[in-house]
Every structure is written in structure tokens, then in C-alpha cells.
Amino acid sequence: MIVDADLLIHSAAQVVTCVADAPKRGAAMQDVGLISDGAVAVKDGRILAVGPTESIRERYSAGQTINASGQIVCPGFVDPHTHVVYAGDRIGEFEQRIRGATYLEIMAAGGGIVSTMRATRQASVEELVEATLPRLAQMLRLGTTTAEVKTGYGLDLVSELKMLEAIAALDLAQPIDLVPTFLPAHAVPPEFNGRSAAYVDWVVNEMIPAAADWYRNSHFAKDSELSRRPFFNDIFCEQNAFDLDQSRRVLEAGIAHGLPAKIHADEFTSLGGVGLAVELGAASVDHLDATTPADAARLAASGVVGIVLPAVNFNLGSHEFANARGLIDAGAAIALSTDINPGSAPCPSQPLVMAIATRYQRLLPAEALNAVTINAAFGVGLAEHIGSLAPGKQADLLVINSSDYRQLAYQFGGNLVSAVVKNGRLLSL
């Protein structure tokens, strides 16, 4: 019997499924689940079947078909760490860095995150949405179909809630599914200068409870099972930001209010954030540039996903990168992300991140592809629904204009994405 599907993509030179029921680690990161001459059948926004074209065509027919001959089909990319909602830009700081200032020096002098905070506090929800839509459109054209998005440029209750409203409005206004993360502890705001302990009290006692209320009433919590999104709580654990004890207080307060933890750790300085992430069962620990071998072993022995962000190093003109090769070899589950933000990484492109990671961190193309799909999906708590091509999963997939998946990391500077299917619908880009 032939089953009716909505969409049949067939004759792909390669279908790469990236299937895994736990975050990929070790040798599994080199397995992309490759099917030659492959096909995917889609119905009601979900994947019905994946397999060789011949066997899929024997069992399924569809009103809409895509002949992907000479191309590959892969899962839509998941970008698991972004600060894509913000007002203004930091082009001046870009020039300051070219002239020799460092990111931490600019931050200590009152620029950096706090300068984007000033612009973001002045913007309305509508202005934030308007400013962010073109960035999300670019990410979509580059293959991102789900993105985590952090607050952290408001740094007071009203402005942080305004950012959450903007994230919710953006989720409904365009195709990329957004996963909200609360990050009021991104920097100490100027009104708390020299009083970071008082700011942490405020975050713990006022802001996190208010954000948890906001989430309960938002569509992210209320939607049907397939479209429900988690709500994470994050902190920047770093010199001149928040120390380890403060990070523990903030993340534990979030957990007490039902917000799973994420943490920015070891971006410049190793303060023990990896151990905290492991102890608290965080969804991810992000950056990992300054991670010690002992912490790498701790991460490898845990279920926490390590998210590395090499577009930051590239953007800061650094020649040093997180030791992602060593982390994978130690057995850690690694994901890759753009970290798109106006300061450390104005980068919308997961393929560019793959290009950097393969060259400077010695990931194989297969490892980089798993790191932007299934492992990234685990990093945002959504691997049950997205990140791989398997029956029952949300039909988020890409057609890539090449017959070899390795081209995704091998080429850079262009865009090989020729079609994006989101929730089973072929988008016009």
C-alpha cells in the first residue's frame, strides 16, 4: 500500500541523518548516518520516513516532490547559543580592537556588554523586533532552523522582561524556532557598579521569580508538546563579571524556579564554571577556551554538552581557540554555535563556524556537522524533536547544493543552502 505524504524529497546524493539517542561523543561524532541516493517523506510537519530513494518511493507518494539529485539533505542547523536580540552595534569597538585594545579592556572601561545595554534599554519591543528580524532572516538562509536566544542586554527587570517579550514576538513573526534563555547576570549594570553582590541579590530575589512567571504565561510554556520550549537560566562566569559563588547562587535560584542551567564558563579565565555545570546538571557549558585538562575530564564524564564558539576567537583576532579536539578526544559531547552578538561575534553563520572549527580546532567535517545538529539540539533540550532526520521528528531539513556533506565545512564564505524545509513546509527564501 502506498502511503500519502505531503512532501517527498528524493534522489539526494547523500541524506545525512545525524541520528543519535544521546549526545554524540567519541567515535560516534564521526558518524553522520549517511544514506546514499536517499529520500525523506514528510507529513503534517513531521518526518514520516528516511531511507534509500527506491524503498521510500515504493512506500510513499506526495503532492509536492523535490528532486535533490546531485545535492545533499541534512537536518536544519540548531544554533544553541545566541545573543541575537539587541539594539545598536559595536563597530567603534571593532576599530578599537584593530588598534590594539582587548575585549576585556573595553569591557572594564565601561564599553562592551554595557554599551549594548544602553542602546537596548532605549529601544521598544517593536524596535528590538525590527532590528533582529533581518539577522534571523540571514541565519535562516544559512540553514539555521532553531536558535537559542538570550536576554542580557537589559540588566534591569523592565528591560530584561522587554527582551523576553521581543524573543516571544520574534518566535511568532518568522520561521526559526527560538528557545528563550534568561541572562540578567551577563554584566553588572552601571547602577550597581562595585556592588555586584547586591545585583546578584536582586537577580535571585526579584528578577528570576519574575522571569519564571513570565515564562509560565508565555506561549513557550503553553504550546502543544511538540512546540513547547524550555526556558534556561544563564550567567557569565568571568573576571569583571560574576565569580563562581555568584554563579552558583544565580543558577541554583533558577533551578529552584524550574529554569535549567546554562553557563558561560572559561571564555578568558578558568574560574571553575565547568565543575559547577556538571554538579548542577546544566544543559550546557559554553565557551571552554581556558578549560583545564581536569575540567575537560569532568565534562567528559558528565551528560553536559560543551558548546564551543570559535567565531568569537576569530572575531577577536585571536590565534588561540578552545581545545575542542582535546575535549572530543577526552570523550566530551561537543556542539558548535555562532554566539551571534554585537561585540564578540557578529556572525549569523553556522557553516562559517564549521569552517573555523575544522581548521583551527581540527574537527572533522562529520564532527562539525553533528556539532551543529544533533549535539546542538541536546544542548537546548530539544533533541527529542529536532537535530536529526528520523521518523516522528519535526521536519526541519536543508537541501545543500553539493553532492558531499564535507563541502559544508570545506567551502567557506558562500552559502550552499539551496532549500530550507521548516515544519514540513518548503520556505521561499
What is the greatest pairwise CA distance in the chain? 71
80's contact among Fe ion, ligand NIG, none, with CB below 5 to 8 A by partner kind, is none
Host H or E run for residue 115: helix 113-122
CA distance 196 to 395: 45
Grid cell, residue 342, equals 554585537
184's contact among Fe ion, ligand NIG, none, with CB below 5 to 8 A by partner kind, is none
CB count within 10 Å of CB 301 equals: 12
- Shortest distance, CB of residue 186 to Fe ion, whole angstroms? 8
23's contact among ligand NIG, Fe ion, none, with CB below 5 to 8 A by partner kind, is none
Indicate the residue among 169 and 308 with the shorter CB distance to Fe ion: 308
Indicate the residue among 177 and 339 with the shorter CB distance to Fe ion: 339
Pairing of strands 284-287, 417-422: unpaired
- Shortest distance, CB of residue 251 to ligand NIG, whole angstroms? 16
365's contact among ligand NIG, Fe ion, none, with CB below 5 to 8 A by partner kind, is none
- Shortest distance, CB of residue 152 to ligand NIG, whole angstroms? 7
Measured distance between the N- and C-terminal CA atoms of the chain, rounded to whole angstroms = 35
367's contact among ligand NIG, Fe ion, none, with CB below 5 to 8 A by partner kind, is none
Piece in contact with Fe ion (CB under 5 A), picked from 57-65, 197-205, 337-345, 363-371: 337-345
CA distance 17 to 15: 6
| CA-closest candidate to residue 249, choices 216, 276, 289, 213 | 276
8, 57 Cβ separation under 8 angstroms = yes
Piece in contact with Fe ion (CB under 5 A), picked from 44-52, 158-166, 339-347, 421-429: 339-347
Instruction: Number of residues interacting with Fe ion: please give it, by CB under 5 A.
Output: 1
312's contact among Fe ion, ligand NIG, none, with CB below 5 to 8 A by partner kind, is ligand NIG
- Shortest distance, CB of residue 344 to Fe ion, whole angstroms? 7
CA distance 423 to 55: 23
Minimal CB distance residue for ligand NIG: 343
CA count, 13 A, side-chain hemisphere, 340: 22
Q: Where are the alpha helices (DSSP H) in 8-52?
A: none
- Shortest distance, CB of residue 396 to Fe ion, whole angstroms? 23
- Shortest distance, CB of residue 85 to ligand NIG, whole angstroms? 11
| CA-closest candidate to residue 304, choices 321, 288, 323, 320 | 288
Place of cell 559531547: 333
Indicate the residue among 242 and 405 with the shorter CB distance to ligand NIG: 242
- Shortest distance, CB of residue 118 to Fe ion, whole angstroms? 19
Indicate the residue among 212 and 309 with the shorter CB distance to Fe ion: 309
Binding-site ranges for ligand NIG (CB under 6 A): 83, 112-113, 116, 236, 264, 267, 312, 339, 341-344
Indicate the residue among 71 and 350 with the shorter CB distance to Fe ion: 350
53 pairs with which residues across the strands?
A: none
116's contact among Fe ion, ligand NIG, none, with CB below 5 to 8 A by partner kind, is ligand NIG
Indicate the residue among 151 and 358 with the shorter CB distance to ligand NIG: 151
Indicate the residue among 6 and 148 with the shorter CB distance to Fe ion: 148
| CA-closest candidate to residue 325, choices 291, 372, 358 | 358
Piece in contact with Fe ion (CB under 5 A), picked from 53-61, 311-319, 335-343, 400-408: 335-343
Host H or E run for residue 376: helix 374-379
CA distance 303 to 277: 10
43's contact among Fe ion, ligand NIG, none, with CB below 5 to 8 A by partner kind, is none
- Shortest distance, CB of residue 381 to ligand NIG, whole angstroms? 19
- 3-state SS assignment for residue 103: helix
CA distance 180 to 152: 11
Where along the sequence are the contacts to Fe ion (CB under 5 A)? Answer: 339
